[in-house]
Amino acid sequence: MWVDAHDRIIRVSPEWDAFALENDGADAVAGNLLGRPVMHFLTGDSVRHLYRSLFTRVRRTGATISFPFRCDAPALRRYMMMHLIPCRNDGIELRSEILKVEPRDEVCLLDRYQPRNEDYLQVCSWCRRVHLDQGWVEVEEAIVALDLFESPVLPHMSHGVCPNCFDEVHRQLQTGEGPDKQRS
């Protein structure tokens, strides 16, 4: 995906629609994205805040920033790497790369079509861990801890950034170096 100097989506890759339809539904197809601000499609204030800071850094330094993130589906753990690549006229390419995919038993909590109750669980948009009293844990662990297996209705997922990921992104904002520093 490419954004212009005002963070508006100006182009997506040819494979975009196939992935969007499989994972995010018809709302996420290119026709609904082009010309609109990318921040509109990021959930959670802290997530938008970090992306804004990362974009600012990429434009200011002209250097690519890369960071790992997870983009899970109910039955898949997807380990991804995001590269924010500076383009001409202050545009930025958001290039995501799949590093590893692990199948798992379907996690009902991540199924968009499940009925939800009034409760909210906080999930980290970067590492997909879920916030419980005892800390940030994988979603499968949260389901066991909260005894959600038999629940007919499930809590909503509210998107934020866990302290580990927040610190990691901030470290990059200061040094410009990711955990996997890119070789050129």
Q: CB of 95 within 8 A of CB of 77?
A: no
CB of 165: closest distance to Zn ion in angstroms?
3
Nearer of residues 12 and 125 to Zn ion, judged by Cβ: 125
Nearer of residues 16 and 166 to Zn ion, judged by Cβ: 166
- Rounded to an integer, what distance in angstroms lies between the CA atom of residue 41 and that of residue 116? 21
Nearer of residues 124 and 154 to Zn ion, judged by Cβ: 124
Q: How many helices (H) and strands (E) does the chain have?
A: 5, 9
- Rounded to an integer, what distance in angstroms lies between the CA atom of residue 37 and that of residue 160? 19
CB of 30: closest distance to Zn ion in angstroms?
28
- Rounded to an integer, what distance in angstroms lies between the CA atom of residue 104 and that of residue 110? 12
CB of 166: closest distance to Zn ion in angstroms?
8
Q: What does the binding site for Zn ion look like in residue numbers (CB under 5 A)?
A: 124, 126-127, 162, 165
